[in-house]
Amino acid sequence: MVIKVFLATSSGSTAIKKKQQDVVGFLEALKVDYTQLDIACNEENRKWMRQNVPEEKKPSNGIPLPPQIFNEESYCGDYETFFDAKEDNSVYAFLGLAPPPGSKEALQADEEEHIMENGTHIEETTEEGTQDESIGHAEEDEEQEEEELRQLEGEEEEEYLEETQEEEA
C-alpha cells in the first residue's frame, strides 16, 4: 500500500507550505513509503483529489486544500486530522498501516491487549525479560526518532529562512 500525499508545489500560502512540509517530514522520519502528487501542475491530480475527498470533510466552499492524504484510494484525512493523529501517537492507524514493532503506537496497542476487563494489567515475562525491559528499549527508539525529527525540522526551517531571505533580496 502506498500513501498518497496531495500537495501544491507552487502554493503562495506559507501556511499551506508549512503544513505540507510537516506531513512529508514526519512521513520521512517514520520511513513511511509515500508518493507526492502535485495538484498545482497536474490537473488530473487536482480533479482526483477533489472528487475523492468525502463531502463531509470538504470545507464550506467545497474545495479541499492541500495537503490531503490517502492510502491508495482510501481517504485518510487532511492536515488537521493528521496533526491530531500525530499528537495521539496514532499516525499508523490514521494511515491505515500496521505500526512497526517497537514503535510507540505498537506498544500502546500491545498495552491495550494486556489490560484485563477489570482494568488491571497482566504482567508478562518472556525469555528476554520482563515487559518493562522491552518498554525501555522502545523509549530509546522513540528518543532517537524524536532527535531525527528535530534535525529534519531544523533543516527545513533553515531552508525556509534561506528562501524567505532570497525572496526579500
State the CATH number of the domain containing residue 86.
Answer: 3.40.30.10
* Number of domain units in the chain: 2
Of 82, 98, 114, the last residue of a domain is 98
Query: How far is 113 from 73, CA to CA, in rounded Å?
Result: 30
pLDDT tens, residue by residue, 14-35: 999 999 999 999 999 999 999 9
Buried b / exposed e over 18-37, threshold 16 CB at 10 Å, is ebbbbbbebbebbebebebb
Judge if 106 and 76 occupy the same domain: no
Query: How far is 78 from 82, CA to CA, in rounded Å?
Result: 6
**Is the separation of the CB atoms in 35 and 3 below 8 Å?**
yes
The reported pLDDT for the residue numbered 151 is 66
Of 80, 98, 116, the last residue of a domain is 98
Task: Output 137 or 130, whichever has higher pLDDT.
Answer: 137
pLDDT tens, residue by residue, 59-93: 999 899 999 999 999 999 999 999 999 999 999 99
Q: Round to the nearest angstrom and report the end-to-end CA distance of the chain.
A: 44
**Cell numbers representing residue 140 in the block:** 530509546
Q: 67: cis peptide before it, omega within 30°?
A: yes
Judge if 56 and 25 occupy the same domain: yes
Of 98, 118, 141, the last residue of a domain is 98
Neighbours of 76 (CB within 10 A): 20
Judge if 143 and 77 occupy the same domain: no
Q: Which domain holds residue 155?
A: 99-169
3-state secondary structure of 122: coil
